Amino acid sequence: MANVAVLGCIWGDEAKAKIVDFLAAEADIVIRYQGGNNAGHTIVSNGKKYIFHLIPAGILYPDKICFLGNGVVIDLFALLAEMENLSDQGIDFHNRFFIDPRAGIVLPIHRQLDEAAENDSPAIKIGTTKRGIGPCYSDLTARVGIRFGDLFHLQILRQRLKRLYNYHKLSDYEIDDLAEALYLSAKPLAECRQQISYFLNRHQDKRILFEGAQGALLDLSFGTYPFVTSSHTTIGGITTGSGFSLRRLGRVVGVYKSYFTRVGEGPFPTELKNELGDIIREHGNEYGSTTGRPRRCGWFDAVAARYSAMLNDIDEIALTLLDVLSGLDSIRICTGYRMNETIITDFPDNSEILNQVTPIYEELKGWKDDITQISSYQALPVAAREYIGRLEELLDRKITIISVGPDREQTIVRQK
């Protein structure tokens, strides 16, 4: 297997974890390189449910090495809780779970700042997960952040916290207690410290899988700014978040949902604000796995999808949750936007414009059959195959993996 990237190509929640879990079978190392515990997913394996926020899904395989790269931001207490949870379910971390010392640390103050920005200023409400992700990345960018490696030196940690609190003009009365809590809590993770760039360079014979978090349309720069997350969710995040050269990447799998969803604020041209949207939400159990918020649902938007396929230079597509569309009389695909008299086929760079466009739709026949037990492409209903074929035409990429249910087995694989 070549080194592979699995990237979310819409606004996150594409059910990437299932695809990662599926492809990780052939990898040696699985890496998360951006984002933090704003991500969340559940994997069903052998009828057992596992919940992940930060730890790469590859940890479910006992022989895989898992890494959090330098581009990740870590809420230490949330990470320890997640590890404990998974350990209780029989997962062993010893000697196979590593964290780059440069990874950022999300502090309680970051969560407070996130919460305050969301609650106090409705004019710029982003609908964040309130996990402190944005404030943590801004502190790192402002060069006052705390990094994983700092947690193992009490004196340095105190100084860095002081600097950060001064920067925010906050009273530093709690710093000593916080420094001590972080220092003591981090101790069991001392053996996990490992510079990812050197590690990957020394293990060039190993097969790597990069597990993207969130999705391309939430990318800090390329996404629907300002309604985005604060990391680079597109392919470049791999290099800056792990020190791995993209020249060594052999395969890029873009993950798309069979319809679109979004949680949080921001433009969503094909959103269905009607009963049909509610039906899709209920069929797909479209509630955020981190915050429990109902996800906004809508039709597949080929303008946005072509854009994220281009940005990520994807080789092939994994199409998820196809079973959720079963039972609909017809299915729509957005092939362009109309703005006044103009037809737009390039994804706009401005959220204000995206808010004003009207989608141009193509309508296809739906299918009634339950497809959750189907294991080959040929056995899918004709209408489902026509839908897949049309998406392939519009995106100019082959759909090689089709997911028809949450279990590992409910996956149809086609030759590229």
Binding span for ligand IMP by CB under 6 A among 127-135, 310-318, 319-327, 353-361: 127-135
Pairing mode of beta strands 342-344, 358-365: unpaired
Q: Determine the residue with CB nearest ligand IMP.
A: 264
Residues 341-380 as b or e (16 or more Cβ within 10 Å = b): eeeeeebbeebeebeebebbeeebebbeeebeebeebeeb
Report, in Å, the least distance between residue 78 CB and ligand IMP: 13
Q: Residue 77 and residue 338: Cα distance in Å, rounded? A: 47
Q: Which residue number, 71 or 134, has a Cβ lying nearer to ligand IMP?
A: 134
Report, in Å, the least distance between residue 134 CB and ligand IMP: 4
Is the peptide bond preceding residue 56 cis, with omega within 30 degrees of 0? no
Q: Residue 258 and residue 322: Cα distance in Å, rounded? A: 5
Q: Residue 19 and residue 296: Cα distance in Å, rounded? A: 22
For ligand IMP (CB under 6 A), the number of binding residues is 20
Q: Which of residues 236-295 bind ligand IMP (CB under 6 A)?
A: 263-264
Q: Which of residues 199-238 bind ligand IMP (CB under 6 A)?
A: 213-214, 218, 227, 229-230
Q: Angle CA(14)–CA(400)–CA(324) in degrees, nearest 5?
A: 45
Q: Which residue number, 73 or 302, has a Cβ lying nearer to ligand IMP?
A: 73
Binding span for ligand IMP by CB under 6 A among 11-19, 56-64, 79-87, 359-367: 11-19
Q: Which residue number, 11 or 148, has a Cβ lying nearer to ligand IMP?
A: 11
Estimate the share of the chain in helix, then strand, then coil, as percent rounded to the nearest 5.
35, 20, 40
Q: Give me the 53-82 binding string for ligand IMP, x by CB under 6 A, dash otherwise.
A: ------------------------------
Q: Residue 361 and residue 296: Cα distance in Å, rounded? A: 19
Binding span for ligand IMP by CB under 6 A among 10-18, 138-146, 195-203, 388-396: 10-18
Report, in Å, the least distance between residue 144 CB and ligand IMP: 19
Q: Which of residues 20-49 bind ligand IMP (CB under 6 A)?
A: 38-39
Shortest CA distance to 277 belongs to which of 303, 295, 258? 295
Q: Which residue number, 22 or 227, has a Cβ lying nearer to ligand IMP?
A: 227
Using a 10 angstrom Cβ sphere, with 0-12 exposed, 13-18 middle and 19 or more buried, the burial of residue 336 is middle
Q: Which of residues 128-147 bind ligand IMP (CB under 6 A)?
A: 128-129, 131, 133-134
Report, in Å, the least distance between residue 295 CB and ligand IMP: 8
Q: Which residue number, 128 or 242, has a Cβ lying nearer to ligand IMP?
A: 128
Q: Give me the 294-333 binding string for ligand IMP, x by CB under 6 A, dash otherwise.
A: ----------------------------------------
Q: Which residue number, 324 or 412, has a Cβ lying nearer to ligand IMP?
A: 324
Q: What residues does 401 pair with on adjacent strands?
A: 318, 413
Report, in Å, the least distance between residue 36 CB and ligand IMP: 8
Q: What does the DSSP assignment read for 133-180?
A: HHHHHHHHHTT---BGGGGG-HHHHHHHHHHHHHHTT---TTHHHHHH
Q: What does the DSSP assignment read for 206-268?
A: S-EEEE--S-GGG-TTTSSTTSS-SS--STHHHHHHH---GGG--EEEEEEESSEEE-SSS--
Distance from the Cα of residue 295 to its chain's centroid: 15
With CB under 6 A as the contact rule, the residue among 5, 6, 10, 12 that binds ligand IMP is 12
By CB under 6 A, is residue 13 in contact with ligand IMP? yes
What are the residue numbers of the active site?
A: 13, 41
Report, in Å, the least distance between residue 323 CB and ligand IMP: 20
Q: Give me the 354-393 binding string for ligand IMP, x by CB under 6 A, dash otherwise.
A: ----------------------------------------
Shortest CA distance to 86 belongs to which of 129, 46, 57? 57
Q: How far apart are the first and last CA of the chain?
A: 14
Q: Which residue number, 70 or 230, has a Cβ lying nearer to ligand IMP?
A: 230
Q: Which residue number, 108 or 188, has a Cβ lying nearer to ligand IMP?
A: 108
Which DSSP helix (H) or strand (E) runs through 332?
strand 330-339
Report, in Å, the least distance between residue 383 CB and ligand IMP: 29
The binding site for ligand IMP (CB under 6 A) comprises 11-13, 38-39, 126-129, 131, 133-134, 213-214, 218, 227, 229-230, 263-264
